[in-house]
Amino acid sequence: MKHQPLFTIIGISLLVFLLWQLPYFGMVQYPLLLLGTWFHEMGHGLTALLLGGKFYYLEIYDNGGGVAYSNVATSYLEYPYARAITSAGGLLGPAISGAILIAAARNKVTSKIVLWLLIAIMVLSLCLWIHELLALVILSVFAAILFFIAILRVRNLEAFTLLFLGTQCVLSTYLQTGYLFTKQFERDGRIQYSDTQMIAAHLSGTYWMWAILILLITVYLLYKSYRYYLKK
């Protein structure tokens, strides 16, 4: 069908939207929430590694929150820039990952490559950076499901999986809109600064200015990835 890719995109976007809006899908929403947290915290950790720093481990809490423990003191960039970019890595990690998944779904070969790459990163994180039981169980289940889909070698199923996960990843940024526009919060009786505030503190501007920029970049990435997928 000429318009099948467009109908697929619309259908999956509607599915993701309904999953988060209707109260009947709590059993599905919760693991997806934790998966979004995993993408977020891995964004922090992998950004720190790419900048020449260290990524120790990450934690995912049962309320959907999380934290990545990293150090960019050894980065090849000056510390303020490395710290700000690492903070932005967690905010943009889901959007960038989602855009890659959506774009990869367009082609049979790239679908397989990116699907196996995602599985490999999940397994690597389970072995190196995740220590808590809840995160271990949830991510292990996701990795097992993706592995099963990969070995089935069903083209439509692979494409649907990448499009669904990609859309979910990108839109997870909007589920954290409140966090984006938060300057600080309390955790375990201690005041913690948000990622947008950390960017502002190490560069310039205000936390809400960076929050708006993150949202605009997320919209742009979703638009470009969808446009690429629909390209003839």
Each residue's pLDDT tens digit, 82-132:
999 999 999 999 999 999 999 999 999 999 999 999 999 999 999 999 988
pLDDT score at 16 = 82
- What's the average model confidence in pLDDT over 123-145? 94
SS3 for 105?
coil
Q: How far apart (Å, rounded) are the C-alpha atoms in residues 98 and 162?
A: 8
Q: How far apart (Å, rounded) are the C-alpha atoms in residues 156 and 164?
A: 12
pLDDT score at 123 = 97
Which residue has better confidence, 3 or 96?
Answer: 96
Question: pLDDT-derived band of residue 184, with 50, 70 and 90 as boundaries?
Answer: confident
The domain tally of the chain equals 1
Burial status of residue 123 (CB atoms within 10 A of its CB: 0-12, 13-18, 19 or more): middle
Residues of the domain holding 184: 4-230
Q: Is the pLDDT of residue 179 over 70?
A: yes
Q: Is the pLDDT of residue 161 over 60?
A: yes
- What's the average model confidence in pLDDT over 1-18? 77
User: Tokens 């423990």 appear where?
Assistant: 69
Q: How far apart (Å, rounded) are the C-alpha atoms in residues 60 and 134?
A: 8
pLDDT score at 142 = 96
